[in-house]
Structure 1
Amino acid sequence: MTQPQNNSAGLVESKTMAQNPSNQASIAAKPALGNDIGGLAYYSTQWVFVDLMKQGSEWITQNVTPGGPGNTQMIDQIPLDENGYPLELPFIAPDGTPQRVITLTGNPSYPSGDYILLFDGEGEIEIFGRNLSYRQEGPGRYRITRTDGDRINIAIVKSVKGNHIRNMRLIMPGFEDNYAEQIFHPLFLERLQPFAVLRFMNLMNTNNNQVITWEDRTRTDTYTQARNGYGMAPEYIPQLANRTQADIWINMPHQADDNYIRELATLLKQELNPDKKIYVEYSNEVWNGQFRQTQWLYQVGCDNPDTFVANQGNNDWGIAGCDDFLSSVNFHVQRLARIAEIFDEVFQENFEDRIIIVAASQAVGPYLSEQLLERFSNPKLNPQGYKPAALAVAPYFAFRADRAEKVDENITVDELLDLAQEHIETRVLEFALQQKQIADKYNVALIAYEGGQHLVPRPMQRQTQLTQTMIEANRHPRMGDLYREYLKNWFDTVGGGVFANFSNVGTPTHFGSWGVLEYQDQAISEAPKYQALLDIIDYLEQKAGVN
């Protein structure tokens, strides 16, 4: 820990605050490219695990007999074991209707071939989907042959009480003999291998997260790792990082108690390779009102006497007498300082060499950045004098706000890319330079928690010409050129440090074209954004003199 000093005004000031950047800040300031990993879902085109049950949907309940709604939504009434498997099926609903449970797995992006379903216990399984056949090969074992199909849907129709169906695994072709050791799909690992830092925000389902205690977390043997509001088991974080030899960037759930933080820190100390750094951020975009964590922070910031600020004109959520914006900033600082203290207690002499505390702000909000960093000097919020090593923003590019009227159904791909280039060279660069000045003022690194293109139609409509134009713009070779220019601006002109691209793999839709790969096995020659990232990694290595 950097020992605090009290200045004449009674403010806590760390030794590094007004002198040289800390060791942690120097680490974060080194130019490096990271990647945000996409979230887990049965419909995702990202092949995270070789066991597809780990990406399967949460249970859907249906009537055993044909007919009725697609989801009777009775899973909360069915007794489950500690890993989420029904203790007995069919379950008899209050109206007397027998219920079964279904999980959805896979999608058309997955390879054809033989998938092996394994499970323990006794009962009756039904498997259905397009272009597939299956046969039982023994107790708890089915072979499913899939050819250019869609999902593999698995229903538990009957599960015997006392020996219920559990420990379900759906193994991708070629991994039956080593799925327990392989865990992650080799191509998933290969395509992450070039990146220096992996951010786990989406894999851990940070936005709208429901985790409070360590006991709330998903376990490695929970029936799916894709539980909404919980994310995957934290135990998989060091396992994935160790296989890719990457530093990690974690987002602490906004409601997580001190024991959760301590248990996670302890897990990472014990399991992560000891030469790897850990970037620690509190939740994600706690200024962004579309997320529940922001609404929660506004409320607790106003409720907490230590973080409460009387209304000064920022009363976004109508909390009587409270400046909910500044109160939420205070709570952010207080909680991040406490998180730093816990990690320091766990990592002890390795804290300054390995832990990068990240204060995340809004790319176009220099005022927020200033308020956030300044408040770490407040002893009421930060009695131990911890300070962040880095200010993080998300400097996305799309088009300038004053050009929005040009972005309609009639715009062409080239015209859209012209606007994107203009945005990169003006507003994006201007705001990034402002943020760098603020970071320098407080002797912290400027890094990017997310970034890349942000072309999203307004309003978000599924089948429109504008949606298609934006998708085609993301596929155009010029988009790769824009990424190269944009990232060189960040590293060379702005002087930014670690930059985490958003994101890894994802299908382009009217919600955005976030993935630099559209599907896991996409040819790199057809993925201009991914190729541009590889080019920038080579560029940074050459600049650093790495052979």
Structure 2
Amino acid sequence: MPIWTTAAAVLTLSVSLGLAWTSVPGRKLTGAAIGGEPDSPNPSTPFRIGTNLDGVAYWSSALPFVDLMKSSGDWFVQAPYRWNTEEKVALDESGWPITIPRGRDGASRNIGLVVLREAGGADTPHTRYVVGYDGSGRLKGMDSQGMRTLKGSKPRQLIVETDAEGWVQLMITQTDPHGRGDFLRNIRVIREDLFPEYERGSVFNPAFVERIAPFRTIRFMDWMVTNSLFRADGSRAKWSSGQGWNANAAGELGWSSRPLPGDARWTSGVPVEIMVQLLNTTKADGWFNMPVNATDDYVRNFAKYVREHLDPKLNIHVELSNEVWNWAFPQAHYAKYRAESEDGKDANWMEWYGKRSAQVGEIWNAVFREPARGQGPPGRVRIVYSTQFAYKGLEKLGLETPRWLDKNGQHRRGADFFDEYAVTGYYGAGLSDDKQVAAVLQWQRDPDGGFQRALLALRKSIEQNNAPLYEYHAKRAREYGLELVTYESGFGERTPPSQHQNEDYTNFLIALQRRPEIYNLELANAEAFRRAGGSLFMNFGIIGKPSKWGSWSALEHINQKDSPRYRALISLTTKYNQDQKTRH
């Protein structure tokens, strides 16, 4: 659950991940769990491995789509000697520029677009891309970036060849020259070697599908841009330093404002049609995060589409938003606003979250014609309730919902509508905290650069922090008859705020998660969760570039096929998921 936007968010991160580095009494893990292969699974306790997908952006190194236009950046206006004039670009309903603004200074203008940049090993130098488009006008690669622009083999097609940086950046220098509404649109940007895939109708990069295919469940939290709050018109609410998240102004998000396959880009949310297509391609269960302010109609129509188009052999996990307990995110502020609007100023936001999660669950169960948990045989839909890993007791109000009454004044308990109780499973030893900086800098003076002491600290964090917390939450889940799952897990360290300009500190943490010893730590963390009674272990990032903001992903770019972290996850999927696929 990386947070990129505010200083407050960064300070919240260590709490939200539950990465306490003080010793917590608990059962000691076996040597095999820390230093070797995991124990044999208990066949009576099904255990599965899944993964989240990294967010869609021009800097993403995952390159999930054949058409890179879908992950490109926002349009911006350029003038001579000015990269971005900050002038507004008028767009049609699908996000294509209607016209090029005329500057007040009388200077000529172009519209720029970053398609791929600063994406680590995904930026392949001297690579050719086929760019197709509809409409009238002129489109070319940005000359300032050393790109070559060549004529394509078909009308309204060109070839751009990247320079040594491997970046793809385009500019529109003319659009709709005759004023007939025939502006440039439906731009497609496809790597030349993948163009046959595009012509066959492929949406997904085959290499991306190959990397995620072993996982039993795919969570779409970042693909759905869940940690943003979208207004009723589909625009994104923004943080204000004076007001914070003005949640009460967001309104409710209706089905008509959802992302669509025909949108110019999917960076404000990947359409449900595309997510379902990926699940059908990989034969994985899906985990969808409903927007915190979605109307009942939005939830109902989303569920209907999934019911009608998802392979009936696949299951669905449904979660309201993501980490609604986390004040670094706007959904917590929205939940507080809704709780106080409905139940008064002393209402609790976590209780509202539990109630609304149950209501969302009721809608999904109704659409799939399945009973809530305990009221009949289990179906395909699993309703998820999540809480913070390190904050014992926070879970109670959302499970009990003491103020929630039906129309007859009878109490309704949120837990009666849930199937799964979810926490994070990050491991970390406080290396991300400013209080630990002096110790880490001292470690770096060791002959090995400090890695052995860091690895030992990570091992102890799994043994002394994660394992007992898994057991605590497993016990709470059993008390309510719920399955314990993680919604995110993995290596949880990132550069402390005070060291953001210290590249050596960042490089140390990046190198740490590349160490071969991390393989066994990944296994140990998952095994600690399984021994506590966990049933579904969800890795967080699968393909993403490491930085000072964190090394969240198991692979660093789409062209990387192996790493200690990825190898550990594949080992776990091989051991546990294959059996589940045969049972499914």
Question: What is the CA distance between 1:472 and its match in structure 2?
Answer: 0.8
Q: What amino acid is the match of 1:535?
A: S
Task: Check conservation: 1:131, 1:149, Cα contact below 8 A.
Answer: no
Q: Pick the aligned partner of 1:202 from 222, 246, 263.
A: 222
Q: Distance in 1 between matches of 2:402 and 2:216?
A: 28
Can you list the C-alpha shifts for 1:192-229, whole angstroms capped at 9, x where unaligned? 00000000001111102315122222211111111xxx
In structure 2, the residue corresponding to 1:91 is in which secondary structure?
Answer: coil
Question: What is the CA distance between 1:271 and its match in structure 2?
Answer: 1.3
Identify the range of structure 1 (341-350 vs 42-51) with the bigger mean alpha-carbon deviation: 341-350
**Could you say if the C-alpha distance between residues 188 and 93 of structure 1 is closer, same or farther in structure 2, counting changes exceeding 3 Å?**
same
Question: What is the CA distance between 1:149 and its match in structure 2?
Answer: 3.0
- Structure 1 unaligned regions, length at least 5: 1-28, 309-321
Residue of structure 2 equivalent to 1:71:
84
Q: Pick the aligned partner of 2:47 from 15, 24, 31.
A: 31
Q: What amino acid is the match of 1:217?
A: R
Tell me, yes or no, if structure 1 residue 144 matches structure 2 residue 182: no
Residue of structure 2 equivalent to 1:510:
548
Q: Distance in 2 between matches of 1:445 and 1:281?
A: 14
Q: Which structure carries more relative contact order (alpha carbon 8 Å, separation 6+)? A: 2
Residue of structure 2 equivalent to 1:410:
442
Q: Distance in 2 between matches of 1:152 and 1:545?
A: 40
TM-score, length-normalised on structure 1?
A: 0.84
Residue of structure 2 equivalent to 1:370:
396
Q: What amino acid is the match of 2:114?
A: L
Q: Distance in 1 between matches of 2:108 and 2:159?
A: 27
Task: Check conservation: 2:415, 2:480, Cα contact below 8 A.
Answer: no
Q: What amino acid is the match of 1:348?
A: R
Question: What is the CA distance between 1:171 and its match in structure 2?
Answer: 0.9
Question: What is the CA distance between 1:233 and its match in structure 2?
Answer: 1.7
Q: Distance in 2 between matches of 1:203 and 1:42?
A: 13
Residue of structure 1 equivalent to 2:150:
135
Residue of structure 2 equivalent to 1:163:
182
**Could you say if the C-alpha distance between residues 520 and 85 of structure 1 is closer, same or farther in structure 2, counting changes exceeding 3 Å?**
same
- Structure 2 unaligned regions, length at least 5: 1-44, 235-252, 373-377, 444-449
Task: Check conservation: 1:333, 1:376, Cα contact below 8 A.
Answer: no
Q: What amino acid is the match of 2:50?
A: G
Question: What is the CA distance between 1:448 and its match in structure 2?
Answer: 0.1
Mapping 1:100-139, distance limit 5 Å: 100-107=110-117, 109-111=122-124, 112-128=126-142, 130=145, 132-137=147-152, 138-139=154-155
Identity level (%): 27
Task: Check conservation: 2:401, 2:413, Cα contact below 8 A.
Answer: no
**Could you say if the C-alpha distance between residues 100 and 216 of structure 1 is closer, same or farther in structure 2, counting changes exceeding 3 Å?**
farther
Q: Distance in 2 between matches of 1:237 and 1:362?
A: 27
Residue of structure 1 equivalent to 2:35:
none
**Could you say if the C-alpha distance between residues 472 and 330 of structure 1 is closer, same or farther in structure 2, counting changes exceeding 3 Å?**
same
TM-score, length-normalised on structure 2?
A: 0.79
Residue of structure 2 equivalent to 1:388:
418
Tell me, yes or no, if structure 1 residue 46 matches structure 2 residue 65: no
Task: Check conservation: 1:86, 1:164, Cα contact below 8 A.
Answer: yes
In structure 1, the residue corresponding to 2:425 is in which secondary structure?
Answer: coil
In structure 2, the residue corresponding to 1:61 is in which secondary structure?
Answer: strand
Identify the range of structure 1 (514-523 vs 292-301) with the bigger mean alpha-carbon deviation: 292-301
Residue of structure 2 equivalent to 1:499:
537
Can you list the C-alpha shifts for 1:209-259, whole angstroms capped at 9, x where unaligned? 315122222211111111xxx322221110111111000111111111111
Tell me, yes or no, if structure 1 residue 178 matches structure 2 residue 208: no
Q: Distance in 2 between matches of 1:338 and 1:97?
A: 55
Task: Check conservation: 1:60, 1:71, Cα contact below 8 A.
Answer: yes
Identify the range of structure 1 (331-340 vs 33-42) with the bigger mean alpha-carbon deviation: 331-340
Q: Distance in 2 between matches of 1:546 and 1:389?
A: 22
Matched positions, count: 491
CA RMSD of superposed structures (Å) = 2.5
Residue of structure 2 equivalent to 1:15:
none
**Could you say if the C-alpha distance between residues 408 and 168 of structure 1 is closer, same or farther in structure 2, counting changes exceeding 3 Å?**
same
Question: What is the CA distance between 1:546 and its match in structure 2?
Answer: 6.9
Identify the range of structure 1 (211-220 vs 444-453) with the bigger mean alpha-carbon deviation: 211-220
In structure 2, the residue corresponding to 1:241 is in which secondary structure?
Answer: helix
Q: Distance in 1 between matches of 2:162 and 2:87?
A: 30
Q: What amino acid is the match of 1:67?
A: Y
Mapping 1:110-509, distance limit 5 Å: 110-111=123-124, 112-128=126-142, 130=145, 132-137=147-152, 138-146=154-162, 148-160=164-176, 161=179, 162-179=181-198, 181-210=201-230, 211=234, 212-226=253-267, 230-305=268-343, 308=344, 322-323=345-346, 327-349=348-370, 352-375=378-401, 378-380=404-406, 382=412, 386-399=416-429, 404=436, 407-411=439-443, 412-459=450-497, 461-491=500-530, 493-509=531-547
